[in-house]
């Protein structure tokens, strides 16, 4: 199996429309905010992304869309909903598929890196059309490093059903992560021909991301997006990147089904 990174971000506590998993804008006004219930979204899309981090080979893969919008209980407790302004908290989940050298001619002789699952959380602050956020995750399988991302978005709605957002991104990782995906051990140097390399932690990439969402009606929405990130620091200096590319591009498109249930 080739590698690509997948992040499922569950929106909580009134996250704004500038995020990749944008909250429903068209249906929120149609719901009575005092009625107990739950609102969430499920969808499926396709993403074109590097076959592994640092690769110059691109693959088309499916990706799930999971977005939690609100939860209101009869005792007055609530999560989500509202106008999306102010400070909010959300969990963050990351998945990186197995990197198998037998699938990647450029990595011949390197060891296989197992599938990775990352668990963590993030904070976001929204003021008007501007949002800033940060996420931090720990690798519970595949790698045992810490990874994170900080960024900002500026979102506009040229028409009621259409939301556009654009903003910078900066990612970072600990040495446990960078050595897993960019390091070369002495044994791998012998079998692969790459120079042995010990990758340190720090800033991993910098780039920009753009997203668009259109709410067709109360039940359906579509989303699309694209991003560019350039590997920097020890990740960019890895001998593995000489066989790939520092510039990493992604493009995605997906269809979303909205669900709202009153209790």
**What domain range includes position 245?**
5-262
Long-range contacts formed by 130-138: CB under 8 A, 24+ apart: 130/18, 130/154, 130/155, 131/16, 131/18, 131/19, 131/155, 131/167, 133/19, 135/92, 136/92, 137/92, 137/93, 137/94
Number of domains in the chain: 1
pLDDT tens-digit profile, the chain (263 residues):
344 455 544 433 333 333 333 333 333 345 567 789 999 999 999 999 999 999 999 999 999 998 888 888 988 888 777 777 888 888 888 999 999 999 999 999 999 999 999 999 999 999 999 999 999 999 999 999 999 999 999 999 999 999 999 999 999 999 999 999 999 999 999 999 999 999 999 999 999 999 999 999 999 999 999 999 999 999 999 999 998 999 999 999 999 999 999 98
Tell me the whole-structure pTM to 2 decimals: 0.82
**CATH number for the domain including 249?**
2.40.230
Of 15, 17, 3, the C-alpha closest to 162 is 17
């Amino acid at each position: 199996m080739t590698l690509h990174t997948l992040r499922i971000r569950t929106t909580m506590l009134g996250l704004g429309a500038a995020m990749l998993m944008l909250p429903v804008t068209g249906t929120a006004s149609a719901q009575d905010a005092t009625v107990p219930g739950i609102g969430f979204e499920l969808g499926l899309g396709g993403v074109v992304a590097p076959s592994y981090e640092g690769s110059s080979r691109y693959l088309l893969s499916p990706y799930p869309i999971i977005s939690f919008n609100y939860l209101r209980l009869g005792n007055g407790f609530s999560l989500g909903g509202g106008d999306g302004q102010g400070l909010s908290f959300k969990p963050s989940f990351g998945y990186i598929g197995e990197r198998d050298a037998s699938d990647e001619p450029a990595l011949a002789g390197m060891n296989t890196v197992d599938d990775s699952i990352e668990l963590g959380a993030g904070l976001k602050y929204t003021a008007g059309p501007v949002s800033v956020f940060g996420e931090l995750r720990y690798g519970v399988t595949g790698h045992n490093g810490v990874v994170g991302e900080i960024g900002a978005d500026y979102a506009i709605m040229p028409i009621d059903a259409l939301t556009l957002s654009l903003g910078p991104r900066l990612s970072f990782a600990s040495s446990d992560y960078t050595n897993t995906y960019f390091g070369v051990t002495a044994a791998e140097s012998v079998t692969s021909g790459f120079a042995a390399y010990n990758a340190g932690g720090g800033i991993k990439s910098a780039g920009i991301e753009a997203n668009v969402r259109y709410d067709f009606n109360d039940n359906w929405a579509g989303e699309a997006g694209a991003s560019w990130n350039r590997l920097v620091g020890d990740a960019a200096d890895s001998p593995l990147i000489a066989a790939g590319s520092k510039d990493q591009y992604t493009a995605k498109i997906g269809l979303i089904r909205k669900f709202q249930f009153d209790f």
